[in-house]
Structure 1
């Protein structure tokens, strides 16, 4: 009789041999759809607002949604610069180099990480970082925008063709216009080209259409056996809030409902009240003005949604959908009349930092799930790494959300912290959110000394007041909570390294005058 130990050894060898001979499962493709100035409530299924987003809603239905995802903040009025730097590097605001325009070699980008795993990495659309980080992150790309030439016009946008050297010179930018036969052709940018917005859908394709068409072509023509990573960075719904007339007609200005936080004017100086975004509409923000801005915002979102629908349809037609992880997120919130503001240079939720975040597609099993866990944009990078079995670079400080998606954990952090320039700080824990403002006054321009001009505190119970309309900071019953949160926000600032030495170009430290 054969020895029992020998039989067990033989069975083990056969099992291991069979296991190792099995072909490894293909790594999934990854598609990041990143939209610009797209607040959480700018997706109908998430915020319940009267904005039509059937295709993004479908992504939520076919995936999972995070209800408390935030931009950590920015040290520039162009908050999208910091947002994209955090997305691409998986690092927090205080680990960026300056405002985030340059990504040091020490910070591995998500494109680099996936390239090292054998992915073909491709970019379409908006890029705000340096050329070196662009070329080391992607194998290819098309219709790059945002590299220095900008005409403020969705229908007359300067684009660049892919340059593997990462050098995008103004002379190489061009426009896409319709010729006499309605065909899309390239057109050189004349020296006397006027800044917009002046064009319409009769002049040329909208940026959202251009980017969606490029993504669709990429999927249709992709024959490589390697998995792909596409970073599809739309410009919409960033201003100018232009959309084809068909989409404008969907929103009757008189029937637009203003949100609870609508105000004609912000009640105090938040430190950065006058800049380009706030000059898009006159003061005070009358109901009619805010309704018009909101109607235009909804129209460009619905047009963007239609283009995203085309992208997903092309992905399905290519046969790649079943093995593609789709990540959808906005880069920042946007006020559009909330609290009397128009831009995103603040730390209110919908007005500045609250964004949609969806993980969708065939790889998501618990479809339709919603999670309330606190999350940041820079958590997307390590989450994708976990999904694709990619090693998370040591430079990444974000936290993977995969344990939440798989219901292994309820949360990966118990608070969020936010900063906008030298003027604003916010701390969210549990149901409550503390916002502190410091406005400095320059008293000696010769030696650069500053003193605080004003200080304001706000306390909101976000779970019952998501639009931040009722300041609780002066109510006696919240005195102890306010004191505790003020102590904690300073501790978190210290832990995160929120100090002037970590932020290039700031003239003073918020905490010097708190």
Structure 2
């Protein structure tokens, strides 16, 4: 009996040793997610005047995707479903509601790695429910987005990690500078009105706060477990605030406007009046667009400097050697393109085209680019395969590792995009079809149905990436439009985009198409 017991103990020790070695060799993961950061908001990707040396360095030391996309949103706050898709590896039609709440049956990115031998850590913005936040991470640094918002990067309500997962409203605080110039906490009070009114004199910028927290964690981390970090910046989301030294880099009068700049959008796209579009007056004169773009570039360059600190911390701590870094934006942003300011659309740069980079010492094909059509919800299954972690059944995205490793050129041959009940897009090959249905004013009048308007656009996205030249009305493209319309309807059916009332929407797109 004693011999049998010794054998069991020996086998257990061997199993533990193998498990420990496998766990030790697993890479750390740092997922950096930025807010309203379009593809061309990275210099090395879009070639625009914005300065992003640290993100450019990630590209030089990694594999970047030229066709990374957000599938879409059924909410004007597109960052909510975008982050839910990232966290769950599920497409926009598979989310519960708009992703405000992530149900327990949908395993999250942090939760998956937490359950597979990782220390799971969050820093920054969380846009979902407290329950999914709590179950996704072992611990966290400063967190924002849990209910109190002052629209101000220099006066951002924050929460410390709550082991019980309550994150109560009354626990929110601001970081300010005291008389000695030291950063101190203070509770919110009734005099804290919505901004933007803060400057670098009032307190640290959100990008500085989150980068400092992430860097401290990385430098101090001594556990044997590998770590997973979700570093979610709020920048470059409006208000487009940055310290003066970064604003000085971009004199508005010297800003060159992109090819798709317009003073006004040529038609009602269904959602022309909302907070993002109220950030600047109509028409968007060149002067207005230049100022908005200058501010956008300034906050991006400031963000880039903070990302540089995190990369430096990885290298200083020695963790860089065994860390996979993923960098992605959550949506595009118009900032004057097509006469728009926000991201409530499905044009590429204005709404759905995002930067996506896999970088670090573990990437061998450094500085290379991939043209495969991919979504942000493909990141999670990619990380699962990269780390030999079992992918849960709830994850439906496609792993990009075969594309990264050049085993295949693509994982899909089209992309499909949706914005609320107003807009749908279908991209395949060189062409992108966008269809608009403005049915929000639908009503009965004299017994007749008033169904608003319909508009079609067709772009050769390869030759015309800024989507300037609409080809839909030319006779020679009639067959292309016909074929793409048919295929778009088929893909909509496959994806489940056929409900007349999605999450409280009064009218469905296909009901009136």
Q: What range describes the TM-score normalised by the shorter chain of this pair?
A: over 0.9
Measure, in 2, the Cα distance between the counterparts of 1:153 and 1:133: 26
Measure, in 2, the Cα distance between the counterparts of 1:248 and 1:192: 28
**Helix, strand or coil for the counterpart of 2:283?**
coil
The match for 2:318 is: 319
Relative to structure 1, the CA distance from residue 491 to residue 90 in structure 2 (aligned partners, 3 Å threshold; closer, same or farther) is same
Relative to structure 1, the CA distance from residue 173 to residue 372 in structure 2 (aligned partners, 3 Å threshold; closer, same or farther) is same
The answer to whether residue 102 in structure 2 is matched with residue 107 in structure 1 is no
Instruction: Quote the offset at 1:450 in angstroms.
Output: 7.5
The match for 1:496 is: 495
Which structure 1 residue ranges, 5 or more long, are not aligned?
Answer: 1-16
The match for 2:359 is: 360
What is the CA deviation profile of residues 368-402 of structure 1, one whole-angstrom value per residue up to 9, with x for unaligned ones? 11000000000000000011110111011100000
Q: How many residues align?
A: 495
TM-score, scaled to structure 2: 0.94
* Aligned pairs (5 A) from 1:131-150: 131-150=130-149
Q: Is the 8 A contact 2:500 2:507 kept in 1?
A: no
Measure, in 2, the Cα distance between the counterparts of 1:471 and 1:453: 21
What is the CA deviation profile of residues 391-436 of structure 1, one whole-angstrom value per residue up to 9, with x for unaligned ones? 1110111000000000000000000000000000000000100000
The answer to whether residue 76 in structure 2 is matched with residue 44 in structure 1 is no
Measure, in 2, the Cα distance between the counterparts of 1:464 and 1:350: 15
Measure, in 2, the Cα distance between the counterparts of 1:187 and 1:194: 15
Measure, in 2, the Cα distance between the counterparts of 1:468 and 1:229: 38
Instruction: Quote the offset at 1:167 in angstroms.
Output: 1.6
The match for 1:273 is: 272
The match for 1:308 is: 307
Measure, in 1, the Cα distance between the counterparts of 2:452 and 2:501: 23
**Helix, strand or coil for the counterpart of 1:232?**
strand
Measure, in 1, the Cα distance between the counterparts of 2:303 and 2:470: 35
The match for 1:393 is: 392
What is the CA deviation profile of residues 184-206 of structure 1, one whole-angstrom value per residue up to 9, with x for unaligned ones? 00011112311111110011000
**Helix, strand or coil for the counterpart of 2:196?**
coil
The match for 1:472 is: 471
Relative to structure 1, the CA distance from residue 443 to residue 460 in structure 2 (aligned partners, 3 Å threshold; closer, same or farther) is closer
Q: Is the 8 A contact 1:436 1:456 kept in 2?
A: yes
What is the CA deviation profile of residues 430-469 of structure 1, one whole-angstrom value per residue up to 9, with x for unaligned ones? 01000000001435499xx985200000000000000000
Measure, in 2, the Cα distance between the counterparts of 1:320 and 1:445: 64
Relative to structure 1, the CA distance from residue 405 to residue 470 in structure 2 (aligned partners, 3 Å threshold; closer, same or farther) is same
Relative to structure 1, the CA distance from residue 502 to residue 142 in structure 2 (aligned partners, 3 Å threshold; closer, same or farther) is farther
Measure, in 1, the Cα distance between the counterparts of 2:228 and 2:444: 49
Which structure 2 residue ranges, 5 or more long, are not aligned?
Answer: 1-14
The match for 2:428 is: 429
Instruction: Quote the offset at 1:78 in angstroms.
Output: 0.3
Instruction: Quote the offset at 1:503 in angstroms.
Output: 2.4
Relative to structure 1, the CA distance from residue 452 to residue 158 in structure 2 (aligned partners, 3 Å threshold; closer, same or farther) is same
Q: Is the 8 A contact 1:123 1:138 kept in 2?
A: yes
Measure, in 2, the Cα distance between the counterparts of 1:191 and 1:127: 24
Measure, in 1, the Cα distance between the counterparts of 2:221 and 2:238: 33
Measure, in 2, the Cα distance between the counterparts of 1:175 and 1:211: 13
Output the aligned Cα RMSD: 1.7
**Helix, strand or coil for the counterpart of 2:377?**
helix
4+ aligned runs moved over 6 Å, structure 1: 19-22
Q: Is the 8 A contact 2:501 2:507 kept in 1?
A: no
Q: Which stretch shifts more, 164-173 or 231-240?
A: 164-173
**Helix, strand or coil for the counterpart of 2:210?**
helix
**Helix, strand or coil for the counterpart of 1:466?**
coil
Measure, in 1, the Cα distance between the counterparts of 2:342 and 2:505: 21
TM-score, scaled to structure 1: 0.94
